[in-house]
Amino acid sequence: MNPDICRERENATFNTETLTNMLDGSAEKTRRRREIESLVINDPDFQHDDPNFMSRSERYDAAVKKSSQMIMKLRDYGISDPEEIYFYKRCVHRGFSEPLDLHLGMFLTTLLNQASPTQLDTFFTPAWNLEIVGTYAQTELGHGTHIRKLETTATYDPSTQEFVLNCPTVSSIKWWPGGLGKTSNHAIVLAQLYTLGKCHGLHAFIVPIRCMKTHQPLPGVTVGDIGPKFGFEEVDNGYLKLENVRIPRENMLMKYAQVEPDGSYLKPPSDKLTYGTMVFIRAMIVGESARALSKSCTIAIRYSAVRHQSELRPGEPEPQILDYQAQQYKLFPLLAAAYAFTFVGQYMSDTYHRITGHINQGDFSQLPELHALAAGLKAFTTWTANAGIEVCRMACGGHGYLCCSGLPDIYVTFTPTCTYEGENTVMMLQTARFLVKCYRQAREGQQLSGTVSYLNEQQRLQPQPVSSRPTVVNINDLASLVEAYKLRAAKLVEVAAKSLQGELQRSISQEDAWNNSSIELVRASDAHCHYVVVELFAAKLSEISDTAVHSVLNTLALLYALHGITLNSGDFLQAGLLSVPQLSQITQRIKALLVEIRPNAVALVDSFDYNDEMLNSVLGRYDGNVYESMFEWAKRSPLNRTEVHESYYKYMKPLRSKL
C-alpha cells in the first residue's frame, strides 16, 4: 500500500463505510451488492484480459461469451431482483454495453408491454430462453429524433393475411439498434402501417431476420454491423434493409392497436403507458451520469494523492499534486457534482416509482412534470459528466491518455448518453416547453406545485423592479443559495417567455417564434435543472444523521452551489441576486472550501466503493501502486508479443539499402 494514500485515509474526518451505506441505501444493501460483485469477481469464467488488447471481433466474441454465461449463472443463482441483476450484469461487463442489452432491456420489455396475451404465449418463452434473440429497430439512417417521419413501411395484404415490410429508400435503412448486426434473429421493427390503402402511423412488428437453425439472414433481409464507433466495441449495432419481407398478421404487436384479418384497423385507446418507459430510461441515465463522474473522480483523486510533481516550496520534496489549488479547483467541484448527481439519480428513481404507482391507479397528473424533469436532468447531468470525465482525464497528465487509466473507456462508454434516448438540446427544449407553459399558467393565476412552484412567486415579485430588490444571497448559507438558484431560474424562464412573446408580436408564427427563442429556452431549462440539483442536494443533507458525514457533504454542497454561481455569474449579477463585491467573496469562499475538502478527498471517493476490478484503472488503484502496475500492463501490450515487429523486416530494413 502506497504510504501517501494510507495517510490520506488516516486523516479523513468521517467514516467511509457510513457514507457508503448511505449511498447504497443501507448497510444490508452494501453487503448484498458486494456479495453479488464478489460472485463475479471470483468466478474463473469471468476472468479476462484487457479488452483494449483485443480486436473488435475478439471483444464482441468475448462479450457474447460472457453474456451467455451470465444468463445461465443468474438462473443458477436464482438472482431475479432487477436491482441485483443490474449489479451482477454491470460487474460481468465491467460497465461496458454488450450485445444482449437490447434483447434484455427492450425486446423482452416491449413484448411484456405491447404484446397481446396470445402473442406473449407465442414469443415470450422462446425469447426468455434465447431461442429468439431480439432487438428494437426504430432509428433509420435518415431519422433519429423525429420518429414520426420514419420511412419503413408495413403494408397489410388481406389476401394472405400478412404484412409486407419494406425499406423503400437508403435513408429508411434501420441503423444503430444494438445487437442487430450479428446477434439477433428477430427484431421489433417500427414501421408505418398501411392497411386498406390508408396510413395509420408507426406500429411495432415482430420480424424474423435470421434463420433459427442456421442464423443466416432470411430472404429479403440485408443485415450487418454498422462498423466501428467511438467506443461500444462489444456491441454489434446494426443495419437492416427489408425488401418485401412477409410476416403473419399475428406478428404486429396487438395489445393496443389492432389490424383485423380483413384489414380493418382498430385504434389504440391511449399512448400514455408507452411514454413511461422513455421517462424511466432518461431518469436512469441521471444515475449513470453520477456513476461515470464518480468513477472518473475516484481515478483522478487517488492518482493525484500519489503523484508528486514540481515544487511548491524550494528545497522541499515534490508535493502531491492534490495540494495544488489548480488541481483541487478542477477536481473538487466535479466530486461535488458526482455526489449531487447521485442524490438526484436516487430522487428520480424514487419519483418514477412513486408516480408509476399513481399512473397504475389512473392518475397521470404528475407525469408531465416528471417527463420534463427527466428530459432536462438527463441533458444537464450528461453534459456536465461528459465534460467532467475529460477534465479528470486531463488532470492525470499524460498517463490519463493510456487505456490502462480507465478514463478513455469511461468517456467513450458514457458520451453517447448525450445523444441517445433523446438528443440533449432537444431534451432541453422539451423541458423549456413545459416551463413556458407553467409560466403562462402561473400568469393566468393557476397555482403550480412541484419543482416549478417558484413560478408562482415569480408573479408576486413581478411588480418590483430587479434593481431595487434586496440582494438575497448569503454565500455561507445553503438555503440562501438554493433561493438564489430558484430566482435565477425564475428570471430566465421569464426571459425565455418574453422572448417568445416578443417574436410573436413581430407577427411571426408560433413555430418561428419558438425557433428564434431557442437560445433563451435552453438557458431557461439549464437554470431550472441547476436549481433542482442544488435544491435536491440541500434536501438530502437534512436526511443525514451522522454529523461527520453531514459536515463533509455540507461542504461539498456549498462548493457545488458556489462554483455554479461563478460559472454563471453573469446571470446572477444580471438578475440582481448578487453584488459585484460578493463575487470576489465567493472566490475566497471557494478557496476555503477546497482547503476544507482536501483532507477528505480520498475518503470521499473511497466511499463510492468501486472495487479495483470494476474500476479497472492502474491510476485509480485502491493501493496506490500506480507505476509498477502501469509497467506490468504495458508489457502485456500486443505490440510487445515479439521483440521485433514484422514491419522492420518488411519496410525499414529494405529501405536502408535504397537511400
Q: Restricting to residues 510-539, name those near a copy of itself by CB under 8 A.
A: 511-512, 515-520, 522
Residue 139 assigned ligand-binding role: yes
Q: Restricting to residues 240-299, name those near a copy of itself by CB under 8 A.
A: none
> Out of 52, 161, 274, 554, which residue is the one contacting a copy of itself (CB under 8 A)?
52
Q: Distance between CA 409 and CA 339 in Å, rounded?
A: 21
Q: 642: how many CB neighbours lie within 10 A of its CB?
A: 9
> Out of 82, 227, 269, 465, which residue is the one contacting a copy of itself (CB under 8 A)?
227
- End-to-end CA separation in angstroms for the chain: 53
Which span (123-131, 273-281, 294-302, 455-463) binds a copy of itself, by CB under 8 A? 123-131
* Nearest distance from C-beta of residue 18 to a copy of itself, angstroms: 32
Task: Give residues with Cβ within 8 angstroms of 624, minimum separation 6.
Answer: 1, 2, 4, 5, 302, 305, 306
* Nearest distance from C-beta of residue 625 to a copy of itself, angstroms: 9
Q: Restricting to residues 572-591, name those near a copy of itself by CB under 8 A.
A: 572-574, 580, 583-584, 587, 590-591
Under rule CB under 8 A, residue 640 binds a copy of itself: yes
Q: Which residues of 560-569 are buried (b: 16+ CB within 10 A; e: fewer)?
A: bbbbbbeebb
* Nearest distance from C-beta of residue 440 to a copy of itself, angstroms: 21
Q: How far lies 13's CA from each of 9, 294, 320, 332, 603, in Å?
A: 9, 20, 20, 17, 9
Residues annotated as catalytic are 421
Under rule CB under 8 A, residue 402 binds a copy of itself: yes
Under rule CB under 8 A, residue 236 binds a copy of itself: yes
> Out of 16, 114, 119, 183, which residue is the one contacting a copy of itself (CB under 8 A)?
183
- Residue 253 or 590: the one with the smaller Cβ distance to a copy of itself is 590
Q: Which residue has the cell 384489414?
A: 263
Instruction: Say how many residues touch a copy of itself, by CB under 8 A.
Output: 138
Q: Distance between CA 137 and CA 618 in Å, rounded?
A: 38
C-alpha cell at 177: 439498434
* Nearest distance from C-beta of residue 481 to a copy of itself, angstroms: 16
Under rule CB under 8 A, residue 75 binds a copy of itself: yes
Q: Distance between CA 392 and CA 385 in Å, rounded?
A: 10
List residues bridging with 242 in a β-sheet: 221
Residue 105 assigned ligand-binding role: no
C-alpha cell at 595: 482547503
Which span (243-251, 285-293, 295-303, 385-393) binds a copy of itself, by CB under 8 A? 385-393
The DSSP 8-state label assigned to residue 651 in this structure reads: I
> Out of 42, 57, 365, 449, which residue is the one contacting a copy of itself (CB under 8 A)?
57
Contact 113, 277 (CB under 8 A): yes
Under rule CB under 8 A, residue 420 binds a copy of itself: yes
* Nearest distance from C-beta of residue 530 to a copy of itself, angstroms: 15
* Nearest distance from C-beta of residue 406 to a copy of itself, angstroms: 11
Q: Residue 208: what residue type?
A: P
Under rule CB under 8 A, residue 644 binds a copy of itself: yes
* Nearest distance from C-beta of residue 631 to a copy of itself, angstroms: 6
Under rule CB under 8 A, residue 358 binds a copy of itself: no
Under rule CB under 8 A, residue 509 binds a copy of itself: yes
Contact 608, 298 (CB under 8 A): yes
Under rule CB under 8 A, residue 634 binds a copy of itself: yes
Q: Restricting to residues 143-182, name those near a copy of itself by CB under 8 A.
A: 143-146, 149, 170-171, 173, 175-176, 181-182
Contact 220, 210 (CB under 8 A): no
Run of H or E including 593: helix 580-597
Q: Restricting to residues 189-218, name those near a copy of itself by CB under 8 A.
A: 214-217
Contact 7, 16 (CB under 8 A): no
> Out of 265, 569, 585, 622, which residue is the one contacting a copy of itself (CB under 8 A)?
569
Q: Distance between CA 393 and CA 299 in Å, rounded?
A: 9
Angle, alpha carbons 244-187-65 (nearest 5°): 135
Q: Restricting to residues 2-41, name those near a copy of itself by CB under 8 A.
A: none
186-195 vs 134-137, strand pairing mode: parallel
Contact 294, 433 (CB under 8 A): no
Under rule CB under 8 A, residue 404 binds a copy of itself: yes
Under rule CB under 8 A, residue 80 binds a copy of itself: no
Q: Distance between CA 56 and CA 99 in Å, rounded?
A: 13
Binding residues for FAD: 139, 178
